Chain A
Amino acid sequence: MSPDADRSDTDDALLALYAEGDPAAARALSARVLPRVYAHAMRLLGDAAAAEDVAQEAMLRLWRMAPDWRPGEAKVTTWLYRVTANLCTDRLRKWRSVGLDEIAEPADPQPSVAAHLQNRARYDALQAALDALPERQRQAVVLRHIEGLSNPEIAQVMEIGPRAVESLTARGKRALTAILAGRRAELGYDDEKAG
């Protein structure tokens, strides 16, 4: 973690400092929240270049609304997850309307993820399975099982009730299990179990 992310200020406080003109606040807040924004966009889109564009736009919207931010009403991260998801939805709609053939091949995932071939295969398998889910199920599964949010937080992000969150994550996990069921040997989990 970078030293900027170690600052003890809350996200709200950093955003307020940014709005007051503090030159270091943006760096500290970005170090803390941008990895989550980028990872979320990456999981929802499965495309590094598009995820970068979405993450940059979500952060720009945060900077622009900083002077009007009302501390305590919503968490900065909740707001960012929501904006990111909405931007991803727009992007996916656009892709569907232009046709998949016209879109450039997704860029490779980050080197740290692809360092080992099997990790790379697992990463791709999970991403491919996530890509096959309906959008809302994918978003709920990613927020719950990868980002580690609680159900009430997911309900706030997705603007739905807690029961709907439970339903989406349960159905999403069942669908992922079914998609990945035929690939266990290929992904090396049978070897690990045997070893």
Chain B
Amino acid sequence: MTMKKPDEHSEDAALDALLDAARTAPPEVPDALMARVLADADRVQPSPAARAAPSSGLWSRISDLVGGWRGMGGLVAATCAGVWIGWSPPDALPDAGALILGYEAADILSNTAELTSFGWDVEEG
């Protein structure tokens, strides 16, 4: 580090004094500016109602998505029917279990219940 001459020290001190003065006496915010800033804030502020809506619970949001309690009822009924058909398919329908296990289409269209339908093979002995 280079040593400073006495003049340089006093020049540094003078600059520091100027900067200190600037720090302690910042320009005052004009009233008109504050008023404009607050008017902008009012204009673009989100309304409390708009903020409250998305904060409702996950369940009510899902329920709204499928059409309220009527929609939910229909969805539950359809799900139960699907489970029942999957569990014990009518004769006219191909066996979904056989499809998943990779049976040939011809086998499926004939009676394909021996492995995948519930206990029929045992009953027929």
Which A positions have Cβ atoms within 8 angstroms of B? 18-21, 23, 26-27, 30, 34-36, 38-39, 42-43, 48, 51-52, 55-56, 59-60, 63-64, 66-67, 109-110, 112-113, 119, 122-123, 125-126, 145-148, 173, 176-177, 180-181, 184, 187, 189, 193
Contact = CB atoms under 8 A, between A and B. Distances in A.
Contacts of A173: 12, 15
Contacts of B11: 177, 180-181, 184
A180 B45 contact: no
A63 B42 CA distance: 9
Contacts of B22: 43, 123, 126, 146
Contacts of B30: 48, 52, 110
Would you call the interface of chain A mostly helix, strand, loop, or mixed? helix
A170 to B, nearest CB: 12
Contact of A35 (B19, B26, B41): B26
B23 A148 contact: yes
Q: Which of B16, B19, B25, B37: most chain A Cβ within 10 A?
A: B37
Interface string B51-88: 10000000000000000000000000000000000000
A63 B38 CA distance: 10
A152 B17 CA distance: 24
Contacts, number: 114
A141 to B, nearest CB: 8
B7 to A, nearest CB: 9
B99 to A, nearest CB: 48
Nearest to B28: A110
Q: How large is the interface on B (under 10, 10 to 19, 20 to 34, 35 or more residues)?
A: 35 or more
Contacts of B124: none
A30 B48 contact: no
B26 A39 contact: yes
A175 to B, nearest CB: 10
Nearest to B16: A145
B37 A146 contact: no
Contacts of B36: 56
A180 B18 contact: yes
A39 to B, nearest CB: 4
B51 to A, nearest CB: 5
A152 B44 CA distance: 33
B15 A30 contact: no
Contact of A18 (B25, B33, B34, B41): B41
